[in-house]
């Protein structure tokens, strides 16, 4: 393993990889030596991320798909199994931010969409990729969460509820596999980060007032280069330190 390529030879999957933290993480993982499978709904945006990775000497495979569609995750897992027969790193980043509104005004259809992607798709990813993670090189799962999942905040009820369920699923999975495999799970709260989701939630905020997604991506690579304990949790501050 090269010091400049700490993840050389690893196979990684990043969801929500077409922009923001997901795109930055995919590029950082590839720069660290991993072959990165990147998925999101927009094929054009994924192709741009893939091109940037290739131009930097990295390796990537795009998988345009909607994680909320029936059997989409199973098909992706089958494709990864056929090509590599393992998965070393799973970064669960894709998420929907419902409209910020009082609990009594939450629109059910929008809430259902958020629960489907933020919660049900997460469980489906764990179901379908668990066997591949167990065959991987010390399988690692990184889940991107939010502080509103553990600390209630007015108007954030729909998103916060989905992230609370997301956290519970990942931590429960971590406890279930820690004694029977080398798979380890970490939940990261990126904190204030310059993303489209952040801009939607805080439309009056100066983007330059929060850190770029590359800071989060660098911390993810650093964490994956360490031997962290399962159920690890941290919040990433502006400097990249926890």
Averaged over 146-154, what is the pLDDT? 97
- Report pTM: 0.96
Write out pLDDT tens, residues 70-87. 899 999 999 999 999 999
Least Cα distance to 62 among 50, 48, 72 occurs for 50
CATH superfamily of 11-235: NAD(P)-binding Rossmann-like Domain (3.40.50.720)
For residue 237, the model assigns a pLDDT of 86
For residue 4, the model assigns a pLDDT of 83
Write out pLDDT tens, residues 187-207. 999 999 999 999 999 999 999
Give, as one character, the DSSP assignment of residue 228.
P
Taking the domains of the chain in order of start, what are their residue ranges?
11-235
For residue 241, the model assigns a pLDDT of 55
> Which residues are tagged catalytic?
159
For residue 1, the model assigns a pLDDT of 47
């Amino acid at each position: 393993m090269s010091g400049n390529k700490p993840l050389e030879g690893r196979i990684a999957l990043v969801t929500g990889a077409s922009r923001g933290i997901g795109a930055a993480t995919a590029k950082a993982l590839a720069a660290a030596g991993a072959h990165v499978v990147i998925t999101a709904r927009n094929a054009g945006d994924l192709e741009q991320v893939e091109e940037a990775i290739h131009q930097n000497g990295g390796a990537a495979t795009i998988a345009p798909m909607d994680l909320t569609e029936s059997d989409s995750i199973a098909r992706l897992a089958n494709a990864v199994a056929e090509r590599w027969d393992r998965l070393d790193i799973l970064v669960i980043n894709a998420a929907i931010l419902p409209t910020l509104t009082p609990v009594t005004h939450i629109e059910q259809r929008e809430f259902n969409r958020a629960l489907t992607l933020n919660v049900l798709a997460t469980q489906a990813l764990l179901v379908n990729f668990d066997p591949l993670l167990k065959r991987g090189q010390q399988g690692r799962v990184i889940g991107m969460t939010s502080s509103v999942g553990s600390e209630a905040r007015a108007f954030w009820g729909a998103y916060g509820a989905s992230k609370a369920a997301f956290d519970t699923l990942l931590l429960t999975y971590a406890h279930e596999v820690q004694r029977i495999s080398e798979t380890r799970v970490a939940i990261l709260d990126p904190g204030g980060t310059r993303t489209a989701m952040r801009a939607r939630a805080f439309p009056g905020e100066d983007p330059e007032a929060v850190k770029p997604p590359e800071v989060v991506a660098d911390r993810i690579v650093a964490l994956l280069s360490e031997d962290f304990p399962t159920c690890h949790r941290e919040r990433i501050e502006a400097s990249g330190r926890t």
